[in-house]
Structure formats: structure tokens, C-alpha cells
């Protein structure tokens, strides 16, 4: 079995296959790149040169460097041109019958010590290996799209593979600048078993019509911290690929969460596959482009509140005033009454249990227009409504504004700490939510 891999063949020159070619030729390893027709092979070459041209525009590469990188790849429409390579990586569509047919044909073409790898994202490596004469040399080498950018490579083992080969492929991934993880053969392996069910759930959420696509993506990107939202990521991966992996996961597990959502199936049937076709959940400038052309007009950020009233007593109210002051917001502290709110107040916070029967209108809007935010034990946040007014609770002590910084609250002597009774409502709990 080949221990040192000095030449590589790649079968299938779509977005993923061309990306794998780029990874190897940029690492200085010559590649024989093969697709079913001369036209498809030249299209794959176009994907490679297009990617390198974008790097030139960003100043990461010059034209001489591009030409040298491209010269390391030979493009062909014949599998027989792979006869002398050390490693073959298959990157054709996720159809088991297509992959097994290719691997069976390779048995009669490549050297006996050549390594056969599949880039499948979810299919059984064991089934593919079992279709060959030498299953011990078949392994999974799963790159992630876009292959030149993403560092993770899953090295997938089977019960048939030579363990020395596993180490050789892992070392190769490290040489390429990737971060390999070695995993066993199961549906979806590791990354896709986690990722695809998340994408499917996000698509189901979107198809209910309860959230805009941009808001859904922002929730994942900003709220969870992912680099991109699930709909954007699905378009990048390819909706056909997402559906195919959903099918494999569902067939293997029968878990409803893994089944392809109805909207995903309809989009694939309609040929809207994401960036590769120029239209998916978003519409793009052209096929293969990442420039969205149907994005909504940007909305300017609303002006933040400059003066805030904190209505209530206790440690939470005091802490909220302190945090607002430190954040550059003028905070006015009140006891249990807000009858004397000045016209400049943008937002009122209700904290504590002294206003259990407050007279708020819908969505926390008081009768006279001030936007109200309520809290329990932690700090609370609200948004500016743009109008001003006042707020009153039935049990509030009226007419007693208590400015921040004075030593006493309504009905309390200077220097005394508030008692439990001053914070308790009818339930006997402190700092209970109000309204």
C-alpha cells in the first residue's frame, strides 16, 4: 500500500471536486482531474481559475502564482488517465450506485498499491469498499465546502480498512494544512449528523412563515455565534446535497428530525439549489456567485434611549440605575410612583413587587405612551417607543418622586436599608415580575 502520496486523481469536478483539486495543487501536489465529458472537465478548470482570480483581486495571489498553480492540474474525461496516481478521491453526486460503479471500474485501472478515497458526506464507506476487489485500500476523506477554506477533514474508517492507510491519509490532511478527525463509518459521520438535522429544523421553521429568512439567519449568526445563518449555509452547501444527506440520515435512523422538509424537496425539484444555480433561499447575481441581489433595503438603527426612569425599590433597581449610568444613559430613580415622569423620559423600567396592579396597556405600553420593560430578579431591557408619559400602580405612593442619589426612598428614613416588607407583594416573594 502506498505510504507516501505524491500524485492525486480527483473524479467529479463540480464545486466540491474543483475545490479539492485547488487544495492539492496549492500544496504543490500534481492532480489529474477527471469528469464525464470534456465540457465538464473544462467547466471544472473554470471553477479552479475563477477561484484563483478572486484571490488575485483580494491581493492574496498574483497572476504568475495563479498560472503556476493551474499548471499542476491536468483535466481529462477519461478514467484511464488515473492509472499512475497514488491516491484517487471520488467527488461525484451522492448516489451509492454511481460511486460503487466508479470504484469497481477503478479496480482495473489503478495500481494495486493505490489508495481509493470517497468524499461522500453521508453514504456508507463499507458498502462502497465491499464493491471493490481490495476493500482494505478504500477509505473516506470528507472535505467540507468550500474545500480551500474550511479546515476540517473527516477521515472515515471501516472494519475492512488497513490501519496504516488511516494514518497515512490523516498525515496527508495535515500536510495540506487541514484539521483531520478520524471517525467510524456511520450515517452522516460526525459533522453532518449534527449539522444537517440543524439545517432541516431551521428550514422547517422558515417554511412556517413565522420568521423572515434574514431574521432567521441573524438569530443563528448573532444570537448563537455561528459564522453564517442556516439558510445562507444551505445555499452554500447546495440544497440538493442537504436533501441527499437528509435522506441518508432518515433512512438510517428513521428520526423525523432528519427527514427532508417539504420546502427543501420542492426547491430541489424546481432546480433552485443555492449558489451553484444562482437561486436558493436567496437569489444571487449569477450561478456560483455569493452576491445576494434580492436582499431587503437596510434599515437604519433606531436612536437609543437617552433618559430612562427606573420605577421600583431594592437591590435590583439600584443595580439597574448604576449600570445605566455607567453606560452613559441618564437614569432617574423613583420609588413606587411614576406620576411625575418628565417629558424627556424615553423608557421606563418596572422593578420589584410594589406595582402588582399596574395599569399597562397592550405590549407593555402605558396609558400615556411610555414604553415599559418589566423585570424579575435580573436586569431587563426594553425598546424606545418614541413617546412620553407616565405610569402608576394602584398600590403606589403618589406624588413622591425620589431622585437618584438621595439617602431616602418614599416613606423611608435616611440611612436605613429597605426591609423585606417594603419589597413584598401579595405572594410574599421579593422582586416579583409586575404588570
Active site residues: 121, 142, 154, 192
SS (H, E, C) the chain: CCCCCCCEEEECCCHHHHHHHHHHHHCCCCEEEECCCHHHHHHHHHHHHHHHHHHHHCCCCCHHHHHHHHHCEEEECCHHHHCCCCEEEECCCCCHHHHHHHHHHHCCCCCCCCEEEECCCCCCHHHHHHCCCCHHHEEEEEECCCCCCCCEEEEECCCCCCHHHHHHHHHHHHHCCCEEEEECCCCCCCHHHHHHHHHHHHHHHHHCCCCCHHHHHHHHHHHHCCCCCHHHHHHHHCHHHHHHHHHHHHHHHCCHHHCCCHHHHHHHHCCCCECCCCECCCEECCCCCCCECCCCCCCCCCCCCCEEEEECCCHHHHHHHHHHHHCCCEEEEECCCECCCCCCCCEEEECCCCCCCECECHHHEECCCCEEEECCCCCCCCCCCCCCCCECECCCCCCCCCCCCCCCCCCCCCCCCCCCHHHECCCCCECCCCC
As a whole number of angstroms, the distance between CA 154 and CA 162 comes to 17
Give backbone dihedrals phi and psi of 47, rounded to 5 degrees, phi first.
Answer: -60, -40
Please list the residues that pair with 33 across neighbouring strands: 10, 75
Amino acid at each position: 500500500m502506498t505510504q507516501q502520496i505524491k500524485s492525486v486523481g480527483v473524479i467529479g469536478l463540480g464545486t466540491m471536486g474543483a475545490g479539492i483539486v485547488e487544495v492539492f495543487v496549492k500544496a504543490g501536489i500534481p492532480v489529474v482531474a477527471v469528469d464525464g465529458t470534456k465540457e465538464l472537465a473544462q467547466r471544472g478548470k473554470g471553477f479552479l481559475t475563477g477561484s484563483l482570480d478572486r484571490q488575485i483581486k483580494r491581493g492574496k495571489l498574483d497572476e504568475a502564482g495563479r498560472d503556476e498553480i493551474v499548471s499542476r492540474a491536468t483535466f481529462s474525461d477519461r478514467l484511464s488517465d488515473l492509472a499512475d496516481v497514488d491516491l484517487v478521491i471520488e467527488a461525484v453526486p451522492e448516489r451509492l450506485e454511481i460511486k460503487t460503479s466508479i470504484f469497481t471500474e477503478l479496480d482495473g485501472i489503478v495500481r494495486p498499491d493505490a489508495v481509493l478515497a470517497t468524499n461522500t458526506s453521508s453514504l456508507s464507506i463499507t458498502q462502497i469498499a465491499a464493491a471493490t476487489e481490495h476493500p482494505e485500500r478504500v477509505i473516506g476523506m470528507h472535505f467540507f465546502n468550500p474545500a480551500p477554506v474550511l479546515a476540517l477533514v473527516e477521515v472515515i474508517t471501516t472494519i475492512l480498512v488497513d490501519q496504516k492507510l488511516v494514518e497515512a491519509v490523516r498525515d496527508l490532511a495535515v500536510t495540506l494544512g487541514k484539521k483531520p478527525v478520524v471517525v467510524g463509518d456511520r450515517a452522516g459521520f460526525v459533522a453532518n449528523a449534527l449539522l444537517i438535522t440543524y439545517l432541516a429544523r431551521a428550514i422547517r421553521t422558515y417554511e412556517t412563515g413565522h420568521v423572515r429568512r434574514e431574521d432567521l439567519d441573524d438569530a443563528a449568526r448573532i444570537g448563537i455565534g455561528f459564522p453564517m445563518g442556516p439558510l445562507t449555509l444551505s445555499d452554500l452547501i447546495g440544497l440538493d446535497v442537504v436533501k441527499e444527506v437528509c435522506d441518508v440520515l432518515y433512512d438510517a435512523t428513521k428520526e423525523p428530525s432528519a427527514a427532508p422538509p417539504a420546502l427543501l424537496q420542492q426547491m430541489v425539484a424546481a432546480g433552485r439549489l443555492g449558489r451553484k444555480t444562482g437561486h436558493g433561499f436567496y437569489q444571487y447575481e449569477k450561478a456560483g456567485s455569493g452576491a445576494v441581489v434580492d436582499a431587503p433595503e437596510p434599515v437604519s438603527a433606531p436612536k437609543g434611549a437617552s433618559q430612562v426612569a427606573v420605577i421600583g425599590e431594592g437591590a435590583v433597581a439600584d443595580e439597574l440605575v448604576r449600570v445605566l449610568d455607567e453606560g452613559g444613559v441618564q437614569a432617574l430613580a423613583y420609588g413606587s410612583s411614576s406620576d411625575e415622569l418628565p417629558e424627556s423620559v424615553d423608557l421606563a423600567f418596572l422593578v420589584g413587587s410594589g406595582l402588582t396592579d399596574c395599569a399597562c396597556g397592550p405590549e407593555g405600553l402605558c396609558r400615556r405612551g411610555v414604553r415599559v420593560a418589566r423585570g424579575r430578579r435580573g436586569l431587563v431591557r426594553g425598546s424606545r417607543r418614541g413617546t412620553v408619559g407616565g405610569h402608576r400602580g394602584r398600590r403606589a405612593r403618589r406624588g413622591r418622586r425620589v431622585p437618584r442619589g438621595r439617602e431616602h426612598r418614599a416613606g423611608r428614613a435616611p440611612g436605613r436599608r429597605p426591609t423585606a416588607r417594603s419589597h413584598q407583594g401579595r405572594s410574599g416573594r421579593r422582586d416579583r415580575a409586575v404588570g
